Structure 1
Amino acid sequence: MNDVLVVHGGAPLHGNIRVRGAKNLVSKAMVAALLGDSPSRLFDVPAIRDVEVVRGLLELHGVRVSDGATEGELVLDPANADRADADEINVHAGSSRIPILLCGPLLHRLGHAFIPDLGGCNIGGRPIDFHLQALREFGAIVDKTASGMEITAPNGLHGTKLQLPYPSVGATEQVLLTAVKAEGVTELRNAAVEPEIIDLICLLQKMGAIIKVHTDRVIEIEGVKRLGGYTHRPIPDRIEAASWAAAALATKGDVFVEGARQAEMMTFLNTYLSVGGAFEVDDSPVGGGIRFWHPGGELRAVVLETDVHPGFMTDWQQPMVVALTQARGLSIMHETVYERRLGYTRALGSMGATIQVYRECLGGTPCRFGRRNFLHSAVIAGPSKLHAAELMIPDLRAGFSHLIAALAAEGTSQVHGVSLINRGYEDFEGKLAALGAHVERG
């Protein structure tokens, strides 16, 4: 399939679109179904590439995954779960970083797991060392091979005390998915507490897990012998909602995002107001969401730092930076979560944006990258008139920011590698059409 999208920019986005369950929860919820001894039912599942990858991995391991009665509903039956062929698993190597999270559930169910070399977006170090160390702390044995890792638990898995060096979402998920059926109590300190983590804890509790979330990022998990299935509707995708919000701002448009919820987006909404955007929350139980629009006048420069929850989310910064190219004055974006996440700004520069990246911590708060020679702060001078360009998408979130820039720019851009956007944005071409964007396959 042609992987190029031709974008005729310069027109405001207007209209309604809908977001479904959060990508960063749905894939983990699918993995959690392996822990149950009865089928699980998951609603509002987006039709994205990451879901296809996890579905394929689960089916390789004998989990029966079928579409439910309603659109976006999945039924996952782990009754016949079994070991998968390493070569078949390796077909998925490089497609996703999800396989590492199958370890705990597979060890509980089969006593064995094989993890291929892992892929994912090239935005900085996301080492799996802590994942492996945590599994060892639970009692697993990890043997590295040429194609991946063989993991076994000859004496079962046992609760332990762990402290994360950084409140990593992936590492917290790993501990949760492993600890819920480990013998004894697990205490995790410096845990991630993102809304998707809390939603995963809610899902596991539905299955029969005993998980206490204490103050100061401490999570305590009391292992149980068995878990049942779950019926769960995930929180909406706050990253996709913010992406469309930024697109409305950058193109001087007006977009209603059905499904978006205020509670998980409070930090983003504060920034949206500070920049000069406007929003209106509709709390209706059916059809509710948030309307985002550019109210006219000039946007205002801001100083922003990404951080773990409840800070400004790292996945919000790329679309927001595109909007900030249209704000008057000097904006600062200090990226503290991923050290190589500002590479996409080069493409914005080629479109006429004035962006300079620095190794120093410019946001006011020193971070762990400050003395390690990473270009992790950006100064954006605006407003800049963006012009069309030929763009190559490097990763998922940067890809959507390139798309927003092409929509805001005067002229016709060619955006290459748009299939990457399908990893996390359901039917984004259909949604663009619904918002009046002039795009077509090249």
Structure 2
Amino acid sequence: MPHTSPIDDLPADVPDQRPVQAPAAGSSLSFATAGDRHRYRIVGGQPLFGSVEVSGAKNSVTKLLVATLLTDEPCTLARVPRIVEVDVVLGMLAELGAEVEWLDDHRVRIQTARITDPSLSEMYSGVNRIPILMMGPLLHRVGEAVVPLPGGCRIGKRPVDFHLTGLRAMGAEIVEQLRSVQVKTLGLHGAHVELPFPSVGATENLLLAAVRAKGTTVISNAAVEPEVIDLILFLQQMGALVDVEVDRTIVVQGVERLHGADHTAIPDRIEVASFAAAAVATDGRVDVRGARQEHVATFLNHLRRIGGEFRVTDDGITFYKDRELTATHVQTDVHPGYMTDWQQPLVVLLTQAQGASVVHETIYEDRFGYTRQLNAMGASIALSTNCLGGKACRFAARDFEHSAVVSGPTPLVGGDLEIPDLRAGFAYVLAALVAGGASTISGTRFLERGYEDPVGKLRSIGAMIETIPVAGPTQSGAAV
């Protein structure tokens, strides 16, 4: 049965050059009660000019960290962002027995010579979706595991039934409990698994289980996002045999043992799109160093259609506005379609475009809740349960507000905003940068879960943004 659970992030920093310790149960760093360390105050109306360095991709790095459990040898990962989500995953690994050492600001060494306990604390229940990906590696290492059920931002259900069905087909015995999953095996074997939907998480889970399974595993209708390919490349360096074939088919020939490896994570294509949107929305010009065109090609096409422009350089991609923005139609989809995490900054851009734009969300059924606060700032965004402007999707006739009509241009005015989830967080920052007057943004812990030093990077390109400390633990009213 599907499960979903909220997330509250841990506002902790991992110290350099020292082993990472798992947070103690019952400590003040409680996942259930952690609040903001600060709010943002932003004065809008300033064009952004300058250069920022894109960080490593959160959605890749966290899975690469899990993959290190597949070997007892040391692995070194580079371009690792210093964000809350990485800190939390390193805490999980430490609890399982990993030794973690930061070699410099963005390079980390992990070695799990021995699994000390295959049961991950229920403290991590609902924190993120990473624990469910640890089942395969733990089954290969010790034949059993108990992991908390996953959580994530409340942007729609994220069921784990795809994951569990595939693992059962590979020989795992699974008992689902209220807040956790218990798995055992005498040995995983290859299987043919056809995913009902090209789920990124399920594809990654099956990959992590298949690389050391006996025999051959075929994953049909698999996800092929850049983050999935990055995981495959790391596994290949560790000694895995993985072929990505046509028609979304991934074939894995299991090997008996994997070894340590060094790998540099891909840049974060969501962060690239975020700063691109900020450059165009404020009528500025921003160089995003490290951005890779092939990872954002679909985004670039849509940006150009509405009036944004870009120039690929030796160092990355430069973004700016070429003409007055005009309306468009966008439908989110699995890769190589328009990424669902690019949707939110685009919607803010479209509030400044001439005409009525249509955005059809086909990945998550409940991802437009953040638009209500944009409307309070002066936007004109109407939600619909219909599949507007494109082909019918799996949410058709299911009473989900998964299409939006954005009419513009509308001037935005500053206000008090409460971030409801990670990706909406940058949309609110962008709206505040565009708006006249000052805005105060709470719920910043959600943004900092996935963006490295957002305040510092924005300041470096001319944003008028400051942090306001929050005294003591807070209970945010943000939906998560």
SS state at 2:65 partner = helix
Q: From 160, 179, 186, give the equivalent of 1:128.
A: 160
Matched, 1:240 2:271: yes
SS state at 2:279 partner = helix
**Partners in 2 of 1:71 and 1:413 — Cα distance?**
32
**1:10 match:** 45
**Partners in 2 of 1:372 and 1:146 — Cα distance?**
27
Whether the 8 Å contact between 2:188 and 2:213 is mirrored in structure 1 is yes
**1:188 match:** 219
Whether the 8 Å contact between 2:132 and 2:149 is mirrored in structure 1 is no
Amino acid at match of 2:117: R
Give 1:371 shift. 1.4
**Partners in 2 of 1:394 and 1:333 — Cα distance?**
20
| Structure 1 segment 17-416 matched on structure 2, within 5 A | 17-68=52-103, 70-84=104-118, 86=120, 89-153=121-185, 155-283=186-314, 288-295=315-322, 297-416=323-442
**Partners in 2 of 1:71 and 1:393 — Cα distance?**
28
Amino acid at match of 1:113: A
SS state at 1:200 partner = helix
Q: Deviations over 1:289-310 (max 9, x none)?
A: 1111123x41011100000011
**Partners in 1 of 2:203 and 2:37 — Cα distance?**
38
**Partners in 2 of 1:441 and 1:386 — Cα distance?**
22
**Partners in 1 of 2:146 and 2:281 — Cα distance?**
45
SS state at 2:354 partner = strand
Q: Deviations over 1:178-201 (max 9, x none)?
A: 000011110110000111111111
Give 1:24 shift. 0.9
**Partners in 2 of 1:85 and 1:170 — Cα distance?**
21
**Partners in 2 of 1:174 and 1:213 — Cα distance?**
16
Amino acid at match of 1:227: L
**Partners in 2 of 1:95 and 1:254 — Cα distance?**
37
SS state at 1:299 partner = coil
**Partners in 2 of 1:224 and 1:420 — Cα distance?**
39
Give 1:435 shift. 1.4
**Partners in 2 of 1:235 and 1:391 — Cα distance?**
32
Q: Unmatched 5+ residue regions in structure 1?
A: none
Q: From 444, 447, 451, give the equivalent of 1:418.
A: 444
SS state at 1:133 partner = helix
Give 1:275 shift. 0.9
Give 1:84 shift. 4.8
SS state at 2:359 partner = strand
Give 1:127 shift. 0.3
**Partners in 1 of 2:181 and 2:118 — Cα distance?**
14
**Partners in 2 of 1:309 and 1:127 — Cα distance?**
20
Whether the 8 Å contact between 1:256 and 1:289 is mirrored in structure 2 is yes
Q: Deviations over 1:12-47 (max 9, x none)?
A: 111111112111110000100011231111001000
SS state at 1:419 partner = helix
**Partners in 2 of 1:173 and 1:365 — Cα distance?**
28
Q: Deviations over 1:378-420 (max 9, x none)?
A: 0111111000111110000011101100111001111111111
Worse-superposed segment, 245-254 or 318-327: 245-254
**1:441 match:** 467
SS state at 1:143 partner = strand
SS state at 1:91 partner = helix
Whether the 8 Å contact between 2:306 and 2:326 is mirrored in structure 1 is yes
Give 1:6 shift. 1.1
Whether the 8 Å contact between 2:118 and 2:142 is mirrored in structure 1 is no
**Partners in 2 of 1:293 and 1:93 — Cα distance?**
42
Q: TM-score, normalized by length of structure 1?
A: 0.96
**Partners in 1 of 2:194 and 2:402 — Cα distance?**
26
Amino acid at match of 2:106: G
Amino acid at match of 1:62: G
**Partners in 2 of 1:430 and 1:359 — Cα distance?**
39
**Partners in 1 of 2:55 and 2:275 — Cα distance?**
13
Give 1:85 shift. 5.2
Q: TM-score, normalized by length of structure 2?
A: 0.88
Q: Deviations over 1:201-253 (max 9, x none)?
A: 11111111111111000111000000011111111110001011111111112
Q: Deviations over 1:263-283 (max 9, x none)?
A: 111101111111111111112
